[in-house]
Amino acid sequence: MVFDPLSPIAPARVKALILPLGQVKRAHFETFVQRLYPENVVRLGDISPDRRPDRNMFSPLAFPAGMIVYDLTTSLPPISHLALAPFELYRAPLVILAIADGSELDHVSCKDKDGNETNGYDYQTHLQQIRDLDQELETIRDQYPKALVHQALLFDYHHQKESPELPDGLIPVPSVKGSTITTMKTIMCDLSSVLLAELTTMAKSLQGMAMIESPSVVLDGRQGPGYSWSNGDNGTISRRASQYGTPDTESRSTSSTPKVDRSQVRMSMPVRFGSQQGEHLRSASVSRPTTPSAGPHTPSDGTSSAMSPPSLSRSSSVADRIGEQSRDRISTQGFGSGSLSERSRNKGKGRISIAIGGLYLQAGRWQDAMKELVEGAYIAKTNNDHLWHAKALEGLVVAMIMLAWIGLDFQIPQLCYVVPEKSSTPTAGTAAEQHTPETINRLAALQNLSVLLPELLDRILSLYERASNFTGESLPQLPFSESAIRFSKLLSAVHLAGGRLDDGSLQLVVLGTPFFAKPNTRAPRLNIHPARSVIVTTLFRAFPSSAAAKELSLIDRTVILAGIASVLGFLGYDRKKAMVMRELVSILIPGLVSARIAGAAEMGIHPAAGLAALSHINGAAEMGIHPAAGLAALSHINGNTTGAGALDLGEGDVESGMDALLGLVGKTYGVVGFPSSPSDGTKNGAKTCDDSDEAVVARIMENTAARQFGGKSMKMNVLRACIGFSEALPDFQGVLRFSADLLRTAGTGIAPGPRTENASPMMSRDEQVRLSINISRTVDAAAKIGLRDIEAEYWDEFLVRGVDLEALPASRTPNPHRSSDLGGTAKAVQAGGKNPFIYNPFLKRPNAEAVERLLVCGESATFKVTLQNPYEFEIVIDRIRLEAKGGDFESTIQETVVGPYRTQILNVSGTPRAAGSFKIIGCIVKLRGCRERRFPIFLEPWSPLSDIKVKAFGLAVQRKREERPVSDSSLSKRPAIDPRLPKPSSLSLTAIAPQPIVVITSTSLSQAAAMVLEGERQTFSVTLKNLSTTTPVDLLLFSFQDSTQGPLQTALSKRDASPAELYEYELILSRKAALRYV
């Protein structure tokens, strides 16, 4: 569970950075983080207030119904985000949570006094490990000096009697079995208590400033003056005195220590004046001297140059120069004879009030936040401070949303309306009176707010744009785009709720809880306001222009485009979403290629060494590109507010996420891909696909539906971009998948006849050959690094066009006989006498087809397999064998090469092993570079028929059609098989028991014929040999032909013969044979 950074209520959340501490296994760390996620919302009424009198500015007792919403993350925000503070304080992590594994304390081997390794519990070792954790926590405090809370959570810690006491900052967390329902909630409440106390110090430090600079653009890791608020001359205050000291002895406001180690300085501490200790800092800031204090200047310290580890800090020369300019500007203009004008002083006062309102917003005291924001907004509006005026209005919208979420009544300030009352600059009391008139009903307030939101949010964006006309007041593109996306998400929630701001839409906005019933975005929603066209207009204001895009890093551009695509998908604009996603892919490819080159060069690998250069992660980190940037953006694209974060990914999650991202792009453009069947699953850890006749026909029809809409050239261009993106990662499976999809999309998807359809693909021969070579090289490169199961899906379902049985030799052809023949001549004559008919036309004739397809068990038969290749490159078949159903059949394995654009016949042998009937239903084929799979037999030509009645077009063609109720009569008229579907065929065979093979070795006749006179008996001998070693010969059936049968057959064929003559001829043939054997 990771929280949406582009949520509409993001300014009301407190960012908490979670870091590992000590020896923690990855699986344990993820488990501990998952225990924290459900408790990210803390009610102020459950928090114990701080007992120190100087830490009660944000006391939870003032508003027990409020909530602190934590944004728990495991990744540090980039410098471009941190530089926006204090204009947007919610971007900086105010809480640092270090997670340690208590079970590791008892499983670390150590050496005793004699040097022997021992395991188990040892007091000194246990104490040393706790001290090491405390020291690492101190290191984290030095790395993140501007965070307000630094706490370590020791999970699965079992406290024993002899265990040492844990130092301050380490909180023990029992295991899941030893925890109760309120364990984690209590811990989060304790952390929130410390946070609220420390927010007082940050608020006082802001109140002590004369002016808060507006944010500026951050380029090349340098921070503008808008970030110098926390790097100023803040004195030297001990961190421990703030969080763990007692109010009597270690209160910050009464500390008089002249010099303290600079590593213990936190920049959120207020400015300390030696001559004005104990006084309120707002009054102290007015009367402080113009000369900077003599204390050490913290901007020159390496430990407090940025809210990030030292590797992300800016250069010292730039920091010193910006810091000196900031101090000179404040010192010369803020006090003394060269003081600021009244207008500038009021502007600074208004900005401070807005910043304090932002802190109240994060602290869960939303009513107080509205008071401060209204006061600051009036001042900013009066002094034409458009940037901060817009920020105050944005904070007011968030505060009203949060108040409505918890079910409280609220009043929309008059300032939010289009024509506010004209008056002079109001005082705090006047602003409060205008803010809190007579309270109205909550439902009425929600209705008024839902009607006001479109105009108010548009006015906020217009104020942001108007501020760019003033020097130094232009809002960077990143916060402007994110604000537009947040506003669009808020308006989308109202739109999908039917134009109402109700409990369902509030749950979606605040917590990301989806609607109970999915809204229907396919039908027109003309009577719902705000309309989708208005939301899209607001949303596309976030799209960075070519000039503004230069200010953004690759990560920021990725997040912005992903957020835009997410809202478009939320509204049902799939085509616009696909356009934005295509732009997202196009900007990621150059960055990934550059990162890959940098990583390969660092590892000593040539960048052109192929896809085996998997060291792109190092280069990506150097260039500011996180390797999981695509997957982090995927959660926003899919409209999911609980997507995957960058550091919450397991092994292989990056590849699977990018595969889903690119697959979504291709599906929206109508790419002819390899659809997965619902019955597909995993077997023995490997993915299995359903290749039955029904599944293959369903895939063919789904691909046919995809070919019916969209431009083929556009689809192919999208697939080429996906291939380039996968090569830049590199993602082997993605390269294979999209290369096969490109060949499948370029093809026609038909089974051509001999002289009918043209099946040539719409792609040049050179590109087809290049794709084929690329697939083979990718598979070889993956195999070299140990990836054996990465293969492509073959791109033509009509590979097997026929299977036929080749005729057996005459000596091995089994001949069927009638039962009368098998009974002998005497029995035949006896049986013939019982039959009154000489010729019976109703007798069943022997099945010629069964005779031709009769096999003998144990004897090999040859089958002719017809293969087609409609592409302009040859395909290599590593192995092919026949697949039988209904009997025991063994097929040999053959290999072959099918030439370009041709139909080719291959002979494959097979042997039946058991008697019975069976069918040849297809072939199991392994093509080089492709997955071994089953191909059905498509004997007849097939091409899709155009629908006479078009009921869907575009993306609706790919959706499953809803079944409508039909009558019994229509069901009876419906054909059993749809004639538009391709029909898989099969070859029926019958295997008989093993038969002996008998040959004539010798005979006593001098020739093959014998002359016998009438009444003569002649004896001759024939020597036979059984070639079979297992089957004996138990029946011999002799047949002969005499010289009288030929003339009789000729006489029967004469048409001028009388019926009496025909009867005599038939009688002689049937009963008066001229020759018999006895």
Q: How many C-beta atoms surround the C-beta of residue 231 within 10 A?
A: 24
What is the edge-to-edge ordering of all strands in the sheet holding 149-155?
41-43, 67-73, 13-20, 95-101, 149-155, 170-173
- Does residue 361 sit within a domain? no
973 shares a domain with 1006: no
Task: Identify the band that residue 795 occupies on the pLDDT scale cut at 50, 70 and 90.
Answer: very high
1009 shares a domain with 972: no
Query: Quick one: pLDDT at residue 50?
Result: 87
- Does residue 804 sit within a domain? yes
804 shares a domain with 729: no
CB 104 within 8 A of CB 24: yes
pLDDT at 711 over 60: yes
pLDDT at 23 over 50: yes
- Does residue 862 sit within a domain? yes
CB 73 within 8 A of CB 17: yes
Task: Identify the band that residue 15 occupies on the pLDDT scale cut at 50, 70 and 90.
Answer: very high
637 shares a domain with 744: yes
pLDDT at 103 over 90: no
Phi, psi (degrees; rounded to nearest 5) at 781: -65, -40
Hey, which residues does 1025 pair with through a beta bridge?
999
Task: Identify the band that residue 726 occupies on the pLDDT scale cut at 50, 70 and 90.
Answer: confident
1004 shares a domain with 920: no
At residue 606, the 3 state secondary structure works out as coil
Q: How many C-beta atoms surround the C-beta of residue 1054 within 10 A?
A: 10
48 shares a domain with 166: yes
Quick one: tokens of 1039? 């047949």
874 shares a domain with 969: yes
978 shares a domain with 1057: no
Task: Identify the band that residue 352 occupies on the pLDDT scale cut at 50, 70 and 90.
Answer: very high
Distance CA 673, CA 533 (A): 32
Distance CA 882, CA 893 (A): 8
pLDDT at 620 over 50: no
965 shares a domain with 904: yes
How would DSSP label each residue in 400-434?
A: HHHHHHTT------GGGSSSPPP-S---HHHHHHH
User: Between residues 844 and 466, which one has the greater pLDDT?
Assistant: 466
Range of lowest pLDDT (385-389, 426-430, 484-488, 884-888) = 426-430
* E strand or H helix at 973: helix 968-973
User: Between residues 1040 and 749, which one has the greater pLDDT?
Assistant: 749
At residue 22, the 3 state secondary structure works out as coil
When pLDDT is averaged across residues 748-766 and rounded to a whole number, the result is: 85
1017 shares a domain with 967: no
686-688 vs 916-927, strand pairing mode: unpaired
Instruction: With CA atoms as reference, report the closest residue to 304 among 80, 145, 83, 138.
Output: 145
Distance CA 271, CA 278 (A): 12
805 shares a domain with 765: no
Distance CA 59, CA 193 (A): 9
pTM: 0.71
Amino acid at 340: L
How would DSSP label each residue in 800-852?
A: EEEEEEPPPPGGG------HHHHT-HHHHHHHHHH-S-S--TTSPPP-HHHHH
CATH number of 951's domain: 2.60.40.10
How would DSSP label each residue in 135-156?
A: HHHHHHHHHSTT-SEEEEEEET
> Number of structural domains, the chain?
4
Range of lowest pLDDT (582-591, 653-662, 1043-1052) = 653-662
Query: Quick one: pLDDT at residue 360?
Result: 94
What's the mean pLDDT when you consider all of the chain?
Answer: 76
Domain enclosing residue 899, as ranges: 800-811+852-988
> From the centroid of its chain, how far is CA 635?
7
CATH number of 44's domain: 3.40.50
Phi, psi (degrees; rounded to nearest 5) at 818: -75, 155
960 shares a domain with 1012: no
149-155 vs 170-173, strand pairing mode: parallel
User: Could you read off the pLDDT of 1018-1060 as tens digits, one per residue?
Assistant: 888 888 888 888 888 877 777 777 777 788 888 888 888 888 8
651: alpha, beta or left? (left if phi > 0; alpha if psi -120 to 50)? beta
Of 955, 988, 1021, which residue sits at a domain end?
A: 988
- Does residue 334 sit within a domain? no
Query: Quick one: pLDDT at residue 839?
Result: 64
Angle between helices 477-496 and 503-511 (to 10 degrees): 150
Distance CA 84, CA 475 (A): 10
Task: Identify the band that residue 697 occupies on the pLDDT scale cut at 50, 70 and 90.
Answer: very high
Task: Identify the band that residue 231 occupies on the pLDDT scale cut at 50, 70 and 90.
Answer: very low
- Does residue 886 sit within a domain? yes
Query: Quick one: pLDDT at residue 236?
Result: 33
Residue in the structure block whose two tokens are 């047949």: 1039
Of 155, 171, 205, which residue sits at a domain end?
A: 205
User: Between residues 1068 and 413, which one has the greater pLDDT?
Assistant: 413
Range of lowest pLDDT (517-531, 635-649, 721-735) = 635-649
Could you tell me where the DSSP H helices lie in 266-341?
281-287, 316-334
Task: Identify the band that residue 957 occupies on the pLDDT scale cut at 50, 70 and 90.
Answer: low
Task: Identify the band that residue 687 occupies on the pLDDT scale cut at 50, 70 and 90.
Answer: low
Of 205, 229, 263, which residue sits at a domain end?
A: 205
Query: Quick one: pLDDT at residue 537?
Result: 93
User: Between residues 241 and 1034, which one has the greater pLDDT?
Assistant: 1034
Quick one: tokens of 3? 């929280």
When pLDDT is averaged across residues 1003-1018 and rounded to a whole number, the result is: 80
Burial of 1055 (0-12, 13-18, 19+ CB in 10 A): exposed
When pLDDT is averaged across residues 540-556 and rounded to a whole number, the result is: 87
User: Between residues 632 and 418, which one has the greater pLDDT?
Assistant: 418
- Does residue 964 sit within a domain? yes
Hey, which residues does 73 pair with through a beta bridge?
17
Amino acid at 721: A
- Does residue 155 sit within a domain? yes
- Does residue 347 sit within a domain? no
